[in-house]
Amino acid sequence: MTNLPVELRGQLSEHFSLELPAVKERTAPAPDGSQKYLFTLTDGALIESVYMPMRDRTSICVSSQAGCAVGCTFCVTGFFGGGRNLQPSEIVGQYRVIREEHNLSPEQINIVFMGMGEPLLNYDALVDSLETLYLEIAPKRMTVSTSGIIPGIEDLAALDRRPNLAVSINAPDAKRREEIMPITRKYPLSELMAALRNFPLDHGRFITAEYVLIREFNDSPEDARLLARLLRGVQAKVNLIPLNEDANLPAWMKRPEDERIDRFADALTRERVPITVRRSKGRDIAAACGQLRGKTDRKRKAST
C-alpha cells in the first residue's frame, strides 16, 4: 500500500500479517470426499486440517497447536510431543483456505476444533478465533474438543456465547483412562464429570463424549455399561471412534473388529445413551490427528 507513509507501513508489517497458512500437502479425496491438509506456517511449523463433506453440511477440522503436550498414548500428535500455540490468524486461516479451495459458503460449514493440539491450553487464541468465526458461523455449528482441561471447561461455561463441547473420555474408569490419558492425573475423572454436569447447555444441545475404541482394552459390553453409569447426570451423547491404527502408536493398540464395535454400541443403546459411530470417514486419508504429519516426518527421516 504505497499510498501509506513508509513508517506506518513498517508498523503494520511488524504487527499484522495477511498471510494464510501455506498448503504443503493435500491428500487425494477419499471415496467419501474427505481430504487431509498439511499446512506450513511462517516459522516452518506443520499443522493439519481435514475437509469432510457430508450430505447437507461440510465439517472443517482445525488445529489449535503445532503439536500437543497432553500425551494421549493413542494419538499420533502426542507421539511427536508439544509444539507452540497457534495465533488466532493461523487457526482461522485453516478454515479460510479450505473454504476458498472448495468454494463453500459459511452456511454450509461446521467447524470442529479436533485437529492437532489441546484447544483449552491455547484458550485466549481459541476465544479470539471463535469470535472471528462467529461473524460467519453460528456457535451451535462450532465444536471444541478437549482432553478434559477442567479450568478451560469452566471458562467456556462462563462465556455468553458458547460452542458445542466435546470431551475425550475413552475409558469407563479412572485407572484405565490414566493409562492412555496421563492428563487424568492432573484433572481426575471424577472432577471432570462434575464439571460436565455443571456445564450450561441450551435447549436441545448435548455434550459429546468422545470414546476411542481400542481392541480388548475398553470395548466390551461391560465397558459400555460402565460408561453409561459414568455419564449419568450429564446431558451427553457418545461418539464411538474405532482406533485409527498407526505405526507410531504402541503395537498393542488395534482397531476392534466390527462385531465388537456393534456389541459395544448395542450395549450403550440398551442403556438409553444416544450414540453415533464413526465408521470410516477419513480412514483412507490418515485423518486422525498427526497421521499425515507422521507420514511426512517418517519419509523425511528415511531420506536423511
Active site residues: 48, 289
Helix, strand or coil, per DSSP, at residue 128: helix
How far apart CA 162 and CA 139 sit, in angstroms, is 6
Hunting for cell 454436569 — which residue is that?
197
CB 92 within 8 A of CB 133: yes
Distance CA 293, CA 153 (A): 28
Residue 126 and residue 143 in contact, taking contact as beta carbons nearer than 8 Å: no
Phi-psi region of 86 (alpha: psi -120 to 50; beta: other; left: phi over 0): beta
CA separation for the pair 139, 111 (Å, rounded): 9
Asked if residues 87 and 118 have their Cβ atoms less than 8 Å apart, the reply is no
Residues ≥6 apart with Cβ < 8 Å to 258? none
